[in-house]
């Protein structure tokens, strides 16, 4: 069942790339890619209906030996951690395809790379063999690099190379850690299940975990390993930015949870305070730098850096509720950042600039971008954690679950919410309010196809904000399992004292 999520887009990508142009015209390649993405989205919906929300273990497992001497087996599985991320990947891939420019150059390459990217990300989220995960993790690097390098902005070469170098180092570190784990397992196995209960000295665990944290930290990104991200976002075309912010950054936090916390829980709890400090740095640094930006996309990119800090904070706390918060924040950030990039993309495509010093009055009812502006205000509110939207739910969960473990770090992170309001309201005020200047008084027409992707995401942002149980319920048992791993001495007191965390049943959120 799960292989469909990987191999269907791979086959489609191959068909788009290899079939003769007479058969696979640019238009048809787009149609095929979108049709496959729709099938994948539908299949994900089907998996949601079949998923047992009461089970913490892996479901829909598929397994066969691939290259046994290397310890590489084709093993897939899905749990409450990977399911929401698979769902958001399927959704955002379809949206990214939908909002891709119909007149772009080299369309067949573009759509085949898009399919490969979708497959790579899905594979990484589903892989239950460390080497298999690494393969998929590296596979998604290629299309992303090419998308920035070919369809990016004026400094695309620089941004793509920087992205490649950073991500390659990330991959190397992750591979090194995986090899370490496999070697120390005694059986040189990369099988995830076998590596779960390793008895390793704490020093060894710490070395492995720090390697993993740095490796995945580049992807998250954790400050100061973040510098590739703003460049990549600014130069990447809108659909790539949507996927990059919405899904690909989540590979970093997913990796931290899956291979850091879940494989090395004791070491995780040792370095958790440091992770919390890094989270604070991410939040405050990202927010303050965002305030200083004049490029909308860079502002959203630094906002991403800040908001991924919330994910880090909750992950560091590692209680059942905080793991649920981590997943919720990943979904929240995935949707909201994708929405923001979609909207910034429309503004850029219609005005030719993203500079908030130049833009003004875009809410003008007839000559501006009124609906896009309204959606931007909604997305900004969601990002700033205004109640009624998913941003509030996720951030509230993060704060509620992290505060008992890291009170100071949590309070400092809360500043980030206020700072989010500062830089995004600044963006809104400068770009959308006031009189539309003559230079923008004759913007091209806005069509519904420009608005529909953002409208869909806004609907989800509000729906999940009003009914958070729709995102929490999938990962409840998994969160419970992840949050109770290892030495719980640091969290036991809190967990026992607080019925919200064990079992994870916040009625107002889940019901």
Partner 1 sequence: MTTLTPSTPVPTALSAIAERLENGGALLPDSPENLVEVVGVLKSYAVVLDAYSINLNYIAEHQFLVLFPFFKYMNGDVTAGKLMRHWLHQRINYEFAEYCMKAMFWHGGGGLDAYLDTEEFRTRATAAIQAKLKGNLMMRGINQLFPQFLLEQIRQLSFYSGLGQFWRVMSDMFMVLSDRYDAGDITSIADVVDHIKQGLVDNAAMPITYAVTIEGDRYEIIPATAGLTFLMDTAVPYVEAVFLRSFPFFGTVSYNAQAQQIPPEQADFSYGVLFADPLPTGGAGIPPTLLMQDLTHYLPDYLRAVYAGGLRGNGDLRVKINQSFQKSMFCVTTSAILGLMPHPLTTSQPQEQQANREFIDSWLARLEPSALLRVQTPQS
Which stretches of the chain bind partner 1, using CB under 8 A? 361, 363-364, 366-367, 434-436, 441-446
Contact 417, 340 (CB under 8 A): no
**b/e per residue, 241-257, with b = 16+ CB within 10 A?**
bbbbbbbbbbbbbbbbb
Return the closest-CA partner of residue 128 out of 268, 264, 3, 267. Answer: 3
Which residue number, 224 or 437, has a Cβ lying nearer to partner 1? 437
CB of 433 to partner 1, least distance (A): 8
Which residue number, 387 or 444, has a Cβ lying nearer to partner 1? 444
Which residue number, 394 or 427, has a Cβ lying nearer to partner 1? 427
Alpha helices in 236-319 (DSSP H): 238-243, 249-255, 265-292, 296-317
- How far from 348 is each of 154, 259, 450, 469, CA to CA, in Å? 14, 39, 12, 35
Which residue number, 301 or 369, has a Cβ lying nearer to partner 1? 369
* Intra-chain end-to-end CA distance of the chain, in Å: 29
Which residue number, 407 or 444, has a Cβ lying nearer to partner 1? 444
On the 0-12 / 13-18 / 19+ scale of CB atoms within 10 A, 154 is exposed
Q: Quick check: helix, strand or coil at residue 169?
A: helix
DSSP count for the chain of H helices, then E strands: 23, 2
CB of 171 to partner 1, least distance (A): 47
Which residue number, 208 or 428, has a Cβ lying nearer to partner 1? 428
On the 0-12 / 13-18 / 19+ scale of CB atoms within 10 A, 493 is exposed
Which residue number, 222 or 376, has a Cβ lying nearer to partner 1? 376
Which residue number, 106 or 367, has a Cβ lying nearer to partner 1? 367
Is the CA virtual torsion 427, 430, 434, 435 positive or negative? negative
Cα(387)–Cα(405) distance, integer angstroms:
24
CB of 436 to partner 1, least distance (A): 5
CB of 420 to partner 1, least distance (A): 26
Which residue number, 219 or 350, has a Cβ lying nearer to partner 1? 350
Contact 367, 443 (CB under 8 A): yes
CB of 100 to partner 1, least distance (A): 23
Element at 72 (helix H, strand E): strand 72-78
CB of 273 to partner 1, least distance (A): 51
Residue 80 DSSP symbol: T
- Residue position matching structure tokens 């790379």: 113
- CA 366 to chain CA centroid, Å, is 35
Q: Quick check: helix, strand or coil at residue 498?
A: coil
Cα(237)–Cα(434) distance, integer angstroms:
28
Which residue number, 113 or 454, has a Cβ lying nearer to partner 1? 454
CB of 444 to partner 1, least distance (A): 6
484: which 2 tokens? Answer: 């109770």
Contact 375, 458 (CB under 8 A): yes
Is the CA virtual torsion 248, 250, 255, 260 positive or negative? positive
Which residue number, 199 or 366, has a Cβ lying nearer to partner 1? 366
Q: Quick check: helix, strand or coil at residue 78?
A: strand
Which residue number, 215 or 361, has a Cβ lying nearer to partner 1? 361
Return the closest-CA partner of residue 91 out of 137, 29, 44, 140. Answer: 44
Computed over its alpha carbons, how large is the radius of gyration of the chain?
Answer: 22
Cα(272)–Cα(215) distance, integer angstroms:
16
Which residue number, 49 or 442, has a Cβ lying nearer to partner 1? 442
């Amino acid at each position: 069942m799960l292989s469909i999520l990987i191999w269907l887009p791979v086959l489609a990508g191959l068909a788009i790339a290899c079939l003769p142009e007479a058969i696979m015209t640019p238009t048809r390649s787009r149609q095929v890619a979108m049709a496959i993405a729709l099938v994948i989205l539908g299949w994900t919906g089907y998996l949601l209906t079949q998923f047992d929300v009461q089970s913490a273990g892996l479901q829909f497992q598929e397994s066969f030996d691939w290259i046994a001497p290397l310890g590489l087996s084709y093993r897939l599985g899905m749990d409450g951690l990977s399911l929401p991320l698979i769902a958001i990947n399927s959704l955002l891939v379809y949206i990214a395809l939908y909002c891709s420019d119909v007149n772009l150059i080299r369309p067949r390459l573009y759509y085949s790379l898009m399919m490969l990217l979708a497959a790579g990300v899905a594979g990484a989220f589903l892989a239950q063999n460390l080497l298999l995960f690494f393969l998929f993790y590296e596979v998604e690097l290629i299309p992303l690099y090419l998308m920035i390098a070919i369809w990016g902005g004026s400094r695309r070469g620089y941004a793509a190379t920087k992205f490649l170098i950073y991500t390659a180092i990330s991959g190397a570190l992750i591979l090194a850690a995986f090899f370490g784990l496999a070697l120390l397992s005694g059986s040189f196995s990369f099988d995830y299940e076998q590596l779960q209960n390793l008895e390793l000295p704490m020093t060894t665990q710490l070395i492995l975990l720090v390697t993993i944290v740095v490796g995945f930290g580049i992807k998250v990104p954790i400050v100061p390993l973040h510098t590739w991200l703003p460049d990549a976002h600014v130069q990447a075309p809108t659909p790539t930015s949507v996927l990059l912010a919405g899904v690909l950054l989540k590979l970093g936090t997913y990796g931290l949870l899956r291979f850091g916390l879940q494989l090395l829980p004791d070491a995780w709890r040792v370095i958790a305070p440091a992770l919390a400090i890094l989270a604070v740095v991410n939040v405050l640094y990202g927010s303050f730098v965002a305030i200083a930006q004049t490029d909308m996309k860079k502002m959203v990119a630094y906002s991403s850096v800040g908001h991924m800090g919330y994910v880090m904070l909750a992950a560091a706390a590692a209680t059942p509720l905080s793991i649920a918060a981590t997943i919720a924040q990943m979904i929240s950030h995935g949707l909201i950042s994708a929405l923001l990039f979609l909207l910034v993309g429309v503004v850029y495509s219609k005005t030719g600039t993203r500079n908030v010093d130049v833009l003004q009055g875009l809410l003008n009812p007839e000559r501006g971008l009124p609906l896009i502006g309204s959606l931007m205000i909604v997305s900004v509110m969601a990002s700033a954690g205004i109640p009624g939207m998913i941003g509030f739910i996720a951030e509230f969960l993060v704060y509620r679950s992290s505060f008992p473990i890291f009170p100071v770090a949590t309070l400092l992170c809360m500043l980030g919410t206020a700072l989010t309001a500062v830089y995004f309201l600044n963006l809104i005020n400068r770009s959308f309010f006031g009189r539309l200047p003559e230079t923008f008084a004759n913007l091209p027409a806005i069509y519904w196809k420009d608005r529909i992707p953002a409208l869909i995401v806004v609907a989800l942002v509000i729906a999940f904000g009003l009914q958070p149980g729709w995102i929490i319920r999938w990962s409840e048992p998994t969160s419970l399992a992840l949050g109770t791993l290892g030495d719980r001495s640091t969290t036991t007191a809190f967990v026992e004292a607080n019925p919200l965390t064990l079992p994870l049943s916040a009625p107002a959120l889940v019901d």
